[in-house]
Amino acid sequence: MKRTDRRSSDSSGALSRRRLLGASIVAAATVGAEGTGAQDAFAAAHGSGQTAAAHESLSAAPRDRTVLCLLGTAGGPPPVTTRTGTAAALSVRGRVYVVDCGRSAVTQYGRAGLKFGDLAGVFITHLHIDHIADYPNFVLLAAHGRNDVGDAAPTPFPAYGPGSAGALPVGGGDGAPPVDLADPVPGLRELTRDSLNASAYSSNIFSRESGASDPRTRVQVHEITVPDVAADPLGDRAPDMEPFPVMDDGTVRVSAVLVPHGLVYPSFAYRFDTPDGSVVFSGDTAPSNNLVRLARGADILVHEAIDLDFYRHSSGYSQALLDHFAAAHTDVSLLGPIAERCGVSMLVLTHLVPADTYLVPNASWRRRAAKGFSGRVVVGNDLDRIPL
């Protein structure tokens, strides 16, 4: 795709071109989206006794274009067996940008054929544990030193994400004493510091045994400053706002907006403008005009999805939990009109809740998300790749 300014609405001709392009993107995928291509390739390489070089030729990400890699597609803290935690990587001509670091993200990064040495940045949408579980492992493991094939994350690598919320909001658990009364709302900087300090014994021993570097020198944390838009951590956490810049490294330009996600503040959606097109990651969000504004004219919208009907018709779920789901997430039936308003050519579903693949068939996810959308719907599976 030729790089264009996609911050404003396109003409109907350009929109038709993007929708036609959506079909060709999937048809040209190096690993079929909605499929098990990358996982099958990995299993085939190991099961057939092929060499590491042969496996690399099957799974290495291309370095001459932009490819969206879904590392993990499960939403929710409880672990499931059929999907790993929510995480994605955008490989842009040999530079890789990770968005969220759910359970097993470091392992999935390698399985996707991505090089740790190409890591150009980690972006955290919000500080719920299902989005940050593997973040310390990028620092402590991926950047620890070279692995058996001579690969390691650069040090320091940049990490971008929320600062402190400032105060605890009012919620149903107010009667319980807060965890860490001295610092109950740490931002990304404090989270990084405390995670690395909790591993101090390991780091101190490694430094004495092998001269390993201090993990505090392996990451450069950038807490994102929210523009003055009258956001209130205890009230309106995502007021109407324009997208604002986060990072521009000369290859990729990243912008963000606040999105509503229950009691969480701040919670970000990110847009990545690359030489080959634009990809927007919703993070966790209820339906949001801010997100539509951020994603307008992009090529791909990667959006969380929840099937509220599944929970309404299942036993054991309280009304309070159902109300939380509806207030903090986006039902799959609403995604088609949202994607249509954005004018994207492709809608990719991820952070799926319920997460286990046997509970809601892909066909159901796709059918319900497609209503009201004239582009292509992809139900994400772990290790899917979608080239721009």
Chain segment 343-386, per-residue pLDDT in tens = 999 999 999 999 999 999 999 999 999 999 999 999 999 999 99
Question: What pLDDT score was predicted for residue 230?
Answer: 87
Q: Is the pLDDT of residue 247 over 70?
A: yes
CA distance 382 to 305: 15
Domain enclosing residue 243, as ranges: 12-50+63-166+186-227+238-387
Total domain count, the chain: 1
CA 71, CA 108: separation in Å to the nearest integer? 5
Identify the band that residue 171 occupies on the pLDDT scale cut at 50, 70 and 90. confident
What pLDDT, in 10s, does the model give residues 24-46? 444 444 344 444 444 444 334 33
Residue 180 lies in a domain: no
- DSSP lists the bridge partners of residue 244 as 256
Flag whether 172 is in a domain: no
Residue 233 lies in a domain: no
Which of 33, 35, 57, 36 has the alpha carbon at shortest distance from 45? 57
- Flag whether 118 is in a domain: yes
Would residue 57 count as lying in a domain? no
Residue 170 is predicted with a pLDDT of 79
CATH number for the domain including 355? 3.60.15.10
Averaged pLDDT for residues 289-304: 98
57 alpha-carbon distance from chain centroid: 26
Domain-embedded: residue 171: no
284 in any annotated domain: yes
